[in-house]
Structure formats: structure tokens, C-alpha cells
Amino acid sequence: MREKRDEILILRITKSEKSRIYEKMLGMGIRSLSAYIRKMALDGYCLHLDLQELRRMAYLLQMCSTNLNQYAKRANECGQVYAADVEDLRTRLDELIDIGKQILSRLADL
């Protein structure tokens, strides 16, 4: 069950400080000032993760698994798999590995 927030905290800031807070809040993609200030006060930082690379990686992984299933079906039906198909799958898997390494290195920099 969600804890009820019934305490009020009053904070005095200048107009320039307020505008900087809003800039940072909107830059992080957070729309609630209360949530942003609470997160910063309790944890000291907010992370904004760009998940576009993860979405691309998930898409490529789905494509590879679909292709692999098709290759397995063809191998079971006629007993052969084309070298071009295997090379295409290797290329896609190499791209997946590269994207994974980039994501891990960017996460390590945080």
C-alpha cells in the first residue's frame, strides 16, 4: 500500500533558482516538481536513461530469433541451411554485441 504524504515542507528560493530547478526537472523528463525535489533531496541525483538503444537491441534480438527459427525449420524440412542466411545471422548478432557493449560502457560511466 502506498504511504500517504501528509507532511508539508516549505522552501524559499529565488526566481533564478526556481527556473534552474524547472529546467533540470524538465530536462530529466519529470513533470512533477514534488517528485523531482523529493527524489533529489532523498537520493541526491536523478537519472534520465535513453532507452532507444535498448529498444533497438530488443528489436534485433527478436529478428535474430525469428530468423533462427526459420533456419531450423528449413534444416528440419530439407536438411540444409544456406551460408548467406548464417552469415546474415552472424552479422546481426555482432551488431547486437556491439550495441550491448556500448550500453554497458555508458552505464559504467554513470
Nearest residue to 85 via CA among 97, 69, 98, 99? 69
By three-state DSSP, how is residue 13 classified? coil
pLDDT of residue 59: 87
Backbone angles phi, psi at 83, to 5 degrees: -65, -35
* Rounded distance between C-alpha atoms, residue 69 and residue 89, angstroms: 11
Report the distance separating Cα 48 and Cα 3, nearest Å. Answer: 25
C-alpha cell recorded at residue 63: 529478428
Average pLDDT, the chain: 85
Q: In the structure, what pLDDT confidence band is assigned to residue 76 with cuts at 50, 70 and 90?
A: confident
Instruction: Categorize the per-residue pLDDT at 14 as very low, low, confident or very high, splitting at 50, 70 and 90.
Output: very high
Residue 12: its pLDDT value, please? 94
Rounded to two decimals, the pTM is 0.47
Q: Is the pLDDT of residue 46 over 70?
A: no
* pLDDT at 45 exceeding the cut of 80: no
Helix residue spans in the chain (DSSP H)? 15-27, 33-43, 52-78, 83-108
